[in-house]
Amino acid sequence: MTLRLDVVTIFPDYFAPLSLSLVGKAIESGLVELGVHDLRQWTHDRHRTVDDTPYGGGAGMVMKPEPWGEALDALVGPDTTLVVPTPSGRPFDQATAYELADESHLVCACGRYEGIDARVVAYARERMRVREVSLGDYVLNGGEVAVLVMTEAIVRLLPGVVGNPESLREESHAPEHEGLLEYPVFTKPPRWRGLDVPEILFSGHHARIAQWRREQSLELTRQRRPDLLPDAD
Ligand code: ADE
């Protein structure tokens, strides 16, 4: 199944890197269909204005609703989920990435300035699925970088994108690992600058290696991200 992804932005150039690497290959092979659209094509004044001063006062500018309304009219289909990156959204995590990888059509709305007039999301919520999502508790200059991040997280989960699907199962936040952080990994040489690869990894004893890795995952998660530990642990 193909994932159709439409991005609306005033900075289409931000999305050039999507032609590289795994996401680029997914687009080339037809697993992903990407459309990047300049919001200004849906303005009608000489200055192609997309923002205006906020009602109620305050610093900064707000994105006008009219161009966004026309963008939605042009891009939204019967099975669209609108994705709106915003620092006030729900946290974007691996579970969200899996859910969005299951969709057939995502339209991503990249806000700039102080955000998009709130009526745009209110209007969309009456007509389609809407996900307002935040990458984390910090503020970016706009939604573009957030959409790049989410696109990479989502596209790599599509069947056929990552060469060996086993690697999806072994990584941090994978559901198969109860969302724990990934254990440390090593490759040759066995000794490097006085540092040895843990002995257990040469043992060939798969059950013990699996046990060691799980302990490492649990300890790392306890130290760095205790919020991720299942209550039972
Ligand atoms: N836009 C600005 N800051 C953001 C954040 N932290 N997450 C998602 N979108 C954003």
Asked if domains 3-155 and 166-228 share a fold, the reply is: no
Query: Ligand 1 centroid to 130 CA: how many Å?
Result: 16
Among 53, 22, 18, 20, residue whose Cα is nearest residue 34? 18
| Per-residue pLDDT tens over the stretch 27-72 | 999 999 999 999 999 999 999 999 999 999 999 999 999 999 999 9
Q: Residue 87: CB within 6 Å of ligand 1?
A: yes
Cα separation, 62 vs 84, whole angstroms: 15
Cα separation, 181 vs 47, whole angstroms: 49
ipTM here: 0.98
171 has a pLDDT exceeding 90:
no
Q: Residue 61: CB within 6 Å of ligand 1?
A: no
Query: Ligand 1 centroid to 104 CA: how many Å?
Result: 24
What are the Cα distances from residue 101, in Å, to 4, 8, 24, 201, 205? Answer: 10, 19, 16, 34, 36
- Which amino acids are annotated as binding site, given as ranges? 111, 135-140
CATH 3.40.50.150 fits 3-155, yes or no: no
| Per-residue pLDDT tens over the stretch 134-169 | 999 999 999 999 999 999 999 999 999 998 888 888
Query: Ligand 1 centroid to 231 CA: how many Å?
Result: 30
pLDDT tier, 219 (very low <50, low <70, confident <90, very high otherwise):
very high
- Which residues contact residue 14 at a Cβ distance below 8 angstroms, ignoring those fewer than 6 apart? 144, 145, 148
Question: pLDDT averaged over the chain?
Answer: 96
Q: Residue 85: CB within 6 Å of ligand 1?
A: yes
Any idea where the domains of the chain sit in the sequence?
A: 3-155, 166-228
The pLDDT value recorded for residue 167 is 86
CB of 98 within 8 A of CB of 144?
no
Q: Is 28 exposed, middle or buried (0-12, 13-18, 19+ CB in 10 A)?
A: exposed
Atom of ligand 1 nearest to the CA of 137: 6
Section 205-210 average pLDDT: 98
**Fold of the domain built from segment(s) 166-228:** Trp Operon Repressor; Chain A (1.10.1270)
Q: Residue 172: CB within 6 Å of ligand 1?
A: no
Query: Ligand 1 centroid to 150 CA: how many Å?
Result: 11
pLDDT tier, 233 (very low <50, low <70, confident <90, very high otherwise):
very low
Cα separation, 157 vs 43, whole angstroms: 36
